Structure 1
Amino acid sequence: MKQDKSISVLMFPWLGYGHISPFLELANKLSQRNFTIHLCSTQANLTPIREKQYSSSSIKLLELPLLTTNLPPHQHTANGLPPHLMDTLKQAFDSSTPQFTKILKTLKPDLLIYDFLQPWAPLAASQLNIPAVEFISSSSTMTAYMWHDLLKKPKGIEFPFSSTIYYRDYEMASIERSKEIIPVEKIEADKNRVGQSFVLSNHIVLIKRFNEIEGKYSNYITSLTGKKIVPVGFNLIKWLNTKDKRSTVFVSFGSEYFLSEEDLLEIAYGLESRKVNFIWPLRFAKEEVEIEEALPKGFVNRVGERGRVFKGWAPQAKILEHSSIGGFLSHCGWSSVMESMKYGIPIIAMPMHLDQPMNSRLIVEEVGMAVEVVRDGEGKLHWKEVADVINHVVVDEGGELVREKANRMKEIIRFKGDEEIDQVAKELEMLLNS
C-alpha cells in the first residue's frame, strides 16, 4: 500500500467506556499518521463522544444498531448497566452480526481493529477479505497469565513468573466462589469467545502496555500462541532517553487522589508556560472522562514532543531514577517523598490533605530538597505560582541549592539504608527474645 494513500481503519470496541477510551486514544494517534478512522459503537456510547466533540475530520463515528426488544436504547452500553442485564447485552451484541457485516460491506475498510469479546467480527471481515487485528486494552501480564491458564496449567506446568505474579489465597477463593454462582457453560462460553478473538487476529495482536516493564510477558504470550505482540502506548524510557539530563518533570499525585478541575487546569497552564519536558499520568474519578476534554483546548498539540500525558498508571520508580528527570511535582505522600529522596530528585511540593502538608513542611523547611507551590488565602492554586516553582527547582541557577540537597539525601540514604534496616532487625530480635 502506498504511503501517500490514507489507510482506512474500522475500530470496533466492546460497549464499555473502559474499552472505548483506549480505542479512541489509539484512533487519535493513528489519525495523525495518515490513517482515516471510523469508530463503530451503539448510539448510547456515541452520543457522549459527540457531546465531547472528540471526533475530528479523521475520526468518524458509526452507529451499530442493536435489534433487541429486551433492552431500551439507553441501555445499549455496559456503562452503568445492572449486572443481571449484562448477558442480555452480550446476546444483543452477538445478534448484531448482520448489521456489522453491512457496515463492513459499505465502508470497505483496509483494516478492522476489534476487541476481545466479538470473534464474529474478524470472521465477518475475513469473508470480505478484510484483515483484522485484535486490540487488548488490559495488560500483557494478565494476558500471559490467561493463556498459561488455558494452555499450560492443565498439563501441570507452573506459571514461570509465579514468584511475583500470582493470586493471593483469598483472591483465588473469591474467584472460586464466583464460579459456584455463574453457570459452568457461561464461564466456558466467555473463555471461548476471548480465546477465539485472540486466535483470529491476523499475525499480530495489539496490547496496551508499558514495554519497559512488561516485555517478558509479551514474549511469553508469543511463545505460547505464535502471535507477535505489538505494544500500544509508548516506551517512556525510550522517550526519556531523548531528553537532556535533569530537564524533565514527573507529575504524579498518587493512586488515591483525583485533581479538581480547577487544579488540573492551573497545573497544565503552569507546565505549558515554562517549556520544561514533563510526564503526566492522569487519573479521573469517572473513567469516561477523556484527556482532551479535561485539559485546556489544544494543550496536547501545543506541548508536542516535550510532554507525555496519558490516562492511568506509570512506573514511578523507573521514571524517577532516570537521568533526565530533574523534578517531581508531587502531592507529598510519604512513599513518594521517600522515593524522591532515594533517587535524589528535588520536589515541587503540592500537598493536598492528611499528612501531606506536614510532609511538605519537612522537606521544604528542614531538609531543603523541595519548594512548595503556595496557594492563595482561599486555598486556590494559580498557574503562575506553579510555573515559577517548576522553573526555580528545575531550571534557575537559584534552585541549585535545592538540587544539591536532594542529591545529598540520595547519598545519605545510599549509605545509611542498610545500616538502618540492620538496626530494625536487631530491635525486632531483641523484642522477641526479651
Structure 2
Amino acid sequence: MEQPKPTKKLNIVMFPWLAFGHLIPYLELANQLAKKGHHIFFVSTPRNLQRLPKIPQNTSHLITLVPISLPKTPNLPLNAEATTDVGSGHGTDLLKEAYDGLKEPMRKFLEASSSSSQPLDWIIYDFSCYWLPQIVDRFGIRKVFFSIWFARTLSILGPLSELLKGGEGSWIELCTPPRRIPFEDKSVYFLPFEARILFEGLRMATSTVSDVVRYQGSIDGCDVIAIRSCMELESQYFPFLQKYENKVVLPVGLLPPSLENYPMDDTWQPIICWLNKQRKGSVVYIALGSEFEPSQDQLNELALGLELSKLPFFWAFRRSKLSPLVLPEGFEDRTRDRGMIWTSWVPQLKILSNDSVGGFLTHCGWSSIIEALQFGKPLVMLPLAIDHGLYARFMVHKKVGVEIPRNVEDGSFTGSCVVESLRLVFQDEVGQIYRDEAQKLSAIFGDKSLHGKYIDQFNDYLCDKQPSRSQ
C-alpha cells in the first residue's frame, strides 16, 4: 500500500494592504493555511490587528499577529491605519505614503526571521507593496501575489501601464471587452464614468508612485499569482492569465467565511430581535462598504428610493469620522416604522444569513458578493469605484441581480431608479428569475467542500515548491 505523503510544515508571512476588504480575505486564507499545520505570521499595524475578527481557537496557536507601526506622515489623521479611517481620495493617498514607510521595518522583520532556527518559506503579499519582492529576494523566501480581486479584474489591470501611455482619451478602451482576451465575454467592460475614474485614479501618483506601478511591480516580482476565485466561475481566465503573465496562476477558491467565526455578542442582540420581527424574505439589507462613499446627491437619491419603495430595510450606514455625508433631513423619522439604520460595525454575514433578508443592495465589493450569494441572496447593485463595475456586469450576466440604472457619463441616478430596481428584485413576478438564480449560484458560492479542495491544491503547491533550504 502506498504511504501517504508526509505533511510539510511551512513558515508563511502574510502582508495585506491596509483596507479591511483586503485584511479579512487575507486572514481567512491564513486560517485555512494554519489548518494545514503551517505557522502564519500575519503582519499589519497594531490598530488593524486589534480590529480583526477573532481567530478561531483551532488555529490561534499557529497564527502570530505581528504589529508594525506606520511612520508619522504629514496630514495623515492620528490613529488612521486603514482606509476606513480616512475615507477615499486624498486620505487613501496619504495612507499609501505611510505604507511605503513600512519598507525598512519589514526588511528588519524578514531579516530577523530568516536568521532564526525556523526560517521563512513563503510570503503572501498584496498589490500596494511594489517594493517588497526585491527585499524578499535577499532572504531566499518565495513569493505569492494574492489577489483579492477575481481573475477578470487582473485581465484588465495587466496591460494598463501600456494603456496609460496613450493619453487622456485612452480610457475609452476600457468601455468594451479587451481585444487581447481570446474568447468572448461581453460582461468585461466599464461604463464611461467608471472608466474615467479608474483611468485618472491609476494615473495619479501617490508619493511619486502610481497604482499601476504598485500593481505591476507586485505582479512582476512574484513567483506565483493566487486569486480569490474558482474554475466554476472563471475557467477560461486562469490559463489566459498564466500565459499572459508568464507565471503560475492558481485559484484558491472563494474563501467563503463561516458563521462559526462570528460568535454572539451584544451588537447582535438588537439586530436579530428586529430582523426576527420581519416577514421572511422582505428586508432589504444595505451596505456600501468602508472604502468608498457615494456623493451626497447619490446618497439623497438612494434614501429617497428606499423611502418610496415602502420595503422594510436594514441600513449599515457606517462612515469614517472625516465623512461629510448625512442622511436627508427627516428620513429616519419617516421610515422608523419599517427601517433600522445602524451606524457602527455590523455582523454582515449573520445578517445576510437571516431568513428575513430577501436581498442585498451592495456596492459590489467581491467579499460582499461572496457573502450574499453563499446564502442565495439576490443583488441590487450600485458599484462605486475601481473594479466594482466588473463584478456588477458579471452578476447581471449570471442573472442574480440588477444594476440600478445610471447616467453612464456621470454616474448619477434617481430615486425612481432605486425603487424600480428594488421592486424588481424583491416583489415583481418577472424578477423571480433573480431570486431563483441566486439560490442556484449558492451551490457554488457556499460550497465549503469545493473551496476546501482549492485550498488543498494551493497547499500542495506551497509544499512542493518551498525553498530548497527548507526541511
Report the aligned-residue RMSD.
4.7
2:96 and 2:122 mapped to 1: Cα distance? 24
Q: Structure 1 residues 152, 106: closer, same or farther in 2, change over 3 A?
A: same
Deviation at 1:284, TM superposition (A): 6.1
1:91 and 1:329 mapped to 2: Cα distance? 40
Bigger helix share: 1
Q: What is the CA deviation profile of residues 209-245 of structure 1, one whole-angstrom value per residue up to 9, with x for unaligned ones?
A: 1321212222222121101111122599xxxxxxxxx
1:128 aligns with 2:139: yes
Q: Structure 1 residues 111, 358: closer, same or farther in 2, change over 3 A?
A: closer
Identity among equivalent positions (%) equals 23
Aligned to 2:189: 166
Secondary structure of the structure 2 residue equivalent to 1:201: coil
2:164 and 2:90 mapped to 1: Cα distance? 31
Question: Conserved in 2, the CA contact under 8 Å of 1:207 and 1:230?
Answer: yes
Deviation at 1:146, TM superposition (A): 1.5
2:141 and 2:155 mapped to 1: Cα distance? 27
69-78 or 98-107, larger mean C-alpha shift: 69-78
User: How many residue pairs get matched?
Assistant: 286
Secondary structure of the structure 2 residue equivalent to 1:15: coil
- For structure 2, the 5+ residue unaligned runs are 115-119, 167-172, 257-269, 277-284, 291-344, 354-365, 381-394, 401-421, 437-471
Question: Conserved in 1, the CA contact under 8 Å of 2:204 and 2:210?
Answer: no
Look at both structures and tell me which one has the larger radius of gyration over its CA atoms.
Answer: 1
Question: Conserved in 2, the CA contact under 8 Å of 1:148 and 1:159?
Answer: no
Q: Structure 1 residues 315, 190: closer, same or farther in 2, change over 3 A?
A: closer
- With normalisation by structure 2, the TM-score equals 0.50
Selected match of 2:64 from 48, 55, 60: 60
Q: Structure 1 residues 5, 293: closer, same or farther in 2, change over 3 A?
A: farther
Aligned to 2:20: 17
**Letter of the 2:150 counterpart:** S
95-104 or 148-157, larger mean C-alpha shift: 148-157
Q: Structure 1 residues 148, 45: closer, same or farther in 2, change over 3 A?
A: same
Aligned to 1:197: 218
Deviation at 1:164, TM superposition (A): 3.5
Deviation at 1:44, TM superposition (A): 2.1
Secondary structure of the structure 1 residue equivalent to 2:84: coil
**Letter of the 2:66 counterpart:** L
1:172 and 1:4 mapped to 2: Cα distance? 46
Selected match of 2:45 from 19, 42, 46: 42
**Letter of the 2:239 counterpart:** N
Q: Structure 1 residues 14, 216: closer, same or farther in 2, change over 3 A?
A: same
Secondary structure of the structure 2 residue equivalent to 1:34: coil
160-169 or 90-99, larger mean C-alpha shift: 160-169
Deviation at 1:187, TM superposition (A): 8.5
Q: Structure 1 residues 174, 34: closer, same or farther in 2, change over 3 A?
A: closer
Q: Structure 1 residues 263, 46: closer, same or farther in 2, change over 3 A?
A: same
Question: Conserved in 1, the CA contact under 8 Å of 2:25 and 2:255?
Answer: no
**Letter of the 1:94 counterpart:** D
- With normalisation by structure 1, the TM-score equals 0.54
Q: Greater relative contact order (Cα 8 A, min sep 6): structure 1 or 2?
A: 2
Q: Structure 1 residues 153, 311: closer, same or farther in 2, change over 3 A?
A: closer
Aligned to 2:251: 231
